[in-house]
Structure 1
Amino acid sequence: MSLYRARTTIEQWRIFQAVVHCNGYAQAAKELNKSQSSLNHAVAKLQAQLGVQLLEVKGRKAQLTAAGEVMLRRSQFLTQQIEDLEQLAHSLERGWEPTLTIAVEHFHPKDKIYQALKLFHPQSRGTRVTIIDTVISATAEAITDASADLVITPELPLGVLGTCLCHTRLVLVAHRQHPLARQSNISYDDLTQHLQLVVRDNGKHPDNRHGWLKAEQRWTLSNFNEAIELLLQGMGFAWLPEHQVKEHLSSGILINLKVQRGATRQFTSYLVAPKPQHQGPAGALLEQLIVDQYTSSAS
C-alpha cells in the first residue's frame, strides 16, 4: 500500500490563511515577519499545485474566490488539527499534569465530586486541584476558553459533548414569616413587588437572559450561602438549590412559595472536558472517578 504524498505544505496553507486574515499580502508579511514577495510566491505556488484559484487581488486587497472560501474553511480545520497534534505530543512528553482545575456551576451539588477527589488523592502524584464556582456565563466561558480541565455545566455549547451526571432542582423559597409565605396562587406581578435575592453571574460577559429577574427590588450576592442567611432573617425571596435548603424546608423556617406556575426549575448537569485531545492521564483519571460516583449511585 503506497502512502499519499501531499503536493502542498502546512506552511503554504498558513500563509494563505494569514493573507486572508490580514486582508492582503503586505499586512500578512508584517504579521509573519516575512517578505511580501515570499508570500506572493507561496500562494501562487499553492494555487498552481492545486489547479484552483484561491485569491484574486482587487485594488490592494486579496479577496477569496468561491473555491477559496471552501478551501479556507477546510485548511483552518487542518492547521488546527496539526496544532492539536503537536500540543498532544507536548502533553505526553510532560506526562502527569501538575495541576487540574474543575469549574462547577454554582448550584450543582458537590458531594460526589468530593468523594471522587478522595479516591483521586492517593493516586494523584502530587497534582494540585483547584475547584472554582462559576455562575451562568462563567461556566460557558470555562468551556469555550478551556480555562478549566473539567467543567460541570447545565448547558452544552454548540458542538460540545458532555456526560450526563444528574438533575438538580431549584425551588422558589422565602422565610415563613415573609408576606409572600401567607399567599397562595402567587402571580409574577406579586413577586415583582418584593425583594429578590440573586447570585451574581461571575463571567467576563454576564448574561442576564437567564433566570427570573423582574423584581423591582433586587440584591445581587456572591453565592447561595449569603442568600440563605438573608432569607433566614426574613428578607426577600430567592431561587435556591433544593439540596442546600432541604434542612430549612424540613424545619419549616423556609417554605416553598405557592406560585401559579414555575415553582421549581430543573437542570441537567453535564461533565465536560473542554480540550479532550489535550487531556493528560491525571485529568482522565479524575474525570472517570467523577463519572463513576454518579453511575454507581444511579444503579
Structure 2
Amino acid sequence: MLNLLRNLTLRQLQIFSAASQYENFARAAEDLHLTQPAVSMQIKQLEEAIGLPLFERIGRRLTLTEAGATLSHHAKRILGDIKDAEDAMRSLSSADGGTISIGLVSTARYFMPRQISRYAERYPKVDIRFSIGNRDALLRQLQDNAIDLAVMGRPPAELDAHCEPLAYNPHVIAASTTHPFVDAPRFDLHELRHDTFLMREPGSDTAAVAMEMFQHHLFTPARRLALDSHETVKQAVVAGMGVSVLPLHTLRLELLAREVSILQVNGTPIDRVWHVVHMNAKQMSPACVAFRRFLIEKTGAYLEGQFADLTSHAHAASPFAQT
C-alpha cells in the first residue's frame, strides 16, 4: 500500500477516475483518447499494487468494489485539488481561457446548454464541461471538488457553500388539452382531488415542490404515479394519463405545439428560484468567476423572455395572474 502511495501517478488517477465514473473501460478509453487494453492494464496494475480488486462484474455490468468506491472518492478530490492549483496559476493571466466544470440538475437542461453556448461564442478558448445529475449527486460532486459550480433549485443548507439566485423558476400545473378544467377560471386545488398526479421520483426538486404544495393545501390526490424523468412525465400528461406540477420552462415545446395546457389553480404559479452554487472553500479561476457572473446577469432575462413567449401560447389565462 505504501508503494502505491509513493508511486501512484497522476495519469493513473485520471484513468481510474474516468473508469469509475463511467463504470465502463471502453467509455473511459474513448474519453481519454486511449485504447481499452491500455485502460485495463492501468487498472490491473493499480489492483496489484493495492492488493484489492477495484471493480467487479455482476452479470454484464461492471461496478466498483468497496475499495474502488473509496479510492474513487479520494481520486476525485485529488484531481479537483490539482485543477484548483492549475486554475490558481492561470488566474495570474486572464479569464479568456481555461476549463470550467458545472453540474446541472435535470430540469436545468432546458436552458443551461443555451447559456453555455452563448458564453462559448464570446469566449471560444474557455472549455466549459457540464454534467447532469440529481441534487444529491451534485452535492457530492461539490464536496469532492469534482465540479466548480452547480445549478439547482433548493439552496444546499447542508453544505458550506455560497449560493446566488439566477432566475425565477415558476412551477405550474400542466394537463392535457382535453382536461375538463382547461378553460376554467381560477379554482382550488381540491377540484383536482380525483385526478392522477404524475410525479418525479422522491428526492427531485420538482417532487419536493409538489409535496410542499399538497401539504400547504392539505390536499391528497386520488392517485400518485412516480415517473423517472420530466420527459416521461410530459408525455404522460400529453396522453391524458394525469396532471403534473412542472417547472414552466420545461413545457416550452409542448405549449408551442399546443399539446398541453396550464390549469389556473389558485396558488399557482408556485414561486421558486434557480441558484448557482459553489463551495466557499473553492478557489475559482478568473474564467469560472467570469462565467458565474455571466449566468447571474443574463439567465433571468433570458428565461423571462421564454416565459412571456410561453404564456402567449397557453390555452388559458396567464399563469402569472394570481388572485
- TM class by smaller structure: 0.5 to 0.7
Compute the RMSD of aligned alpha carbons. Answer: 3.9
Question: Judging changes above 3 Å, is the alpha-carbon distance between structure 1 residues 220 and 160 closer, same or farther for their aligned structure 2 residues?
Answer: same
The share of aligned pairs that are identical, in percent, is 15
Give the CA deviation at 1:262: 2.0
The residue type equivalent to 1:176 in the other structure is T
CA–CA separation in structure 2 for the residues paired with 1:148 and 1:228: 30
Q: String of CA shifts for 1:69-98, please: whole Å, max 9, x gaps.
A: xxxxxxxxxxxxxxxxx9798445775866
Question: Judging changes above 3 Å, is the alpha-carbon distance between structure 1 residues 118 and 228 closer, same or farther for their aligned structure 2 residues?
Answer: farther
The residue type equivalent to 2:122 in the other structure is L
Is 1:153 aligned with 2:155?
A: no
Give the CA deviation at 1:161: 2.4
What is the match of residue 233 of structure 2?
227
What is the match of residue 167 of structure 2?
166
What is the match of residue 291 of structure 2?
286
CA–CA separation in structure 2 for the residues paired with 1:97 and 1:202: 34
Partner SS state of residue 264, structure 1: coil
Question: Judging changes above 3 Å, is the alpha-carbon distance between structure 1 residues 186 and 295 closer, same or farther for their aligned structure 2 residues?
Answer: closer
Q: String of CA shifts for 1:215-268, please: whole Å, max 9, x gaps.
A: 342222233222222211122111222223245446654222233x32211212
CA–CA separation in structure 1 for the residues paired with 2:252 and 2:280: 36
Are the aligned partners of 2:167 and 2:300 in contact in 1 as well (CA < 8 Å)? no
Are the aligned partners of 1:138 and 1:201 in contact in 2 as well (CA < 8 Å)? no
What is the match of residue 131 of structure 1?
131
The residue type equivalent to 1:150 in the other structure is L
5+ residue gaps, structure 1, are 1-85
Are the aligned partners of 1:230 and 1:236 in contact in 2 as well (CA < 8 Å)? yes
Tell me the TM-score normalized by structure 2: 0.51
The residue type equivalent to 1:280 in the other structure is S
Give the CA deviation at 1:210: 4.2
Question: Judging changes above 3 Å, is the alpha-carbon distance between structure 1 residues 148 and 221 closer, same or farther for their aligned structure 2 residues?
Answer: farther
What is the match of residue 113 of structure 1?
116
Pairing of 1:59-74 with structure 2 (within 5 A): none
Pairing of 1:207-286 with structure 2 (within 5 A): 210-212=209-211, 214-246=220-252, 248-249=254-255, 252-259=258-265, 261-275=266-280, 277-286=282-291
Give the CA deviation at 1:211: 2.4
CA–CA separation in structure 2 for the residues paired with 1:99 and 1:184: 47
Are the aligned partners of 2:175 and 2:240 in contact in 1 as well (CA < 8 Å)? yes
Count, aligned residues:
207
Partner SS state of residue 131, structure 1: strand
Give the CA deviation at 1:172: 0.5
Tell me the TM-score normalized by structure 1: 0.54
Are the aligned partners of 1:101 and 1:148 in contact in 2 as well (CA < 8 Å)? yes
5+ residue gaps, structure 2, are 1-80, 91-96, 215-219, 305-323
Partner SS state of residue 197, structure 1: strand
Q: String of CA shifts for 1:188-209, please: whole Å, max 9, x gaps.
A: 4443422211223567xx9975
CA–CA separation in structure 2 for the residues paired with 1:143 and 1:118: 27
Are the aligned partners of 1:186 and 1:258 in contact in 2 as well (CA < 8 Å)? yes
Question: Judging changes above 3 Å, is the alpha-carbon distance between structure 1 residues 182 and 147 closer, same or farther for their aligned structure 2 residues?
Answer: same
Give the CA deviation at 1:151: 0.9
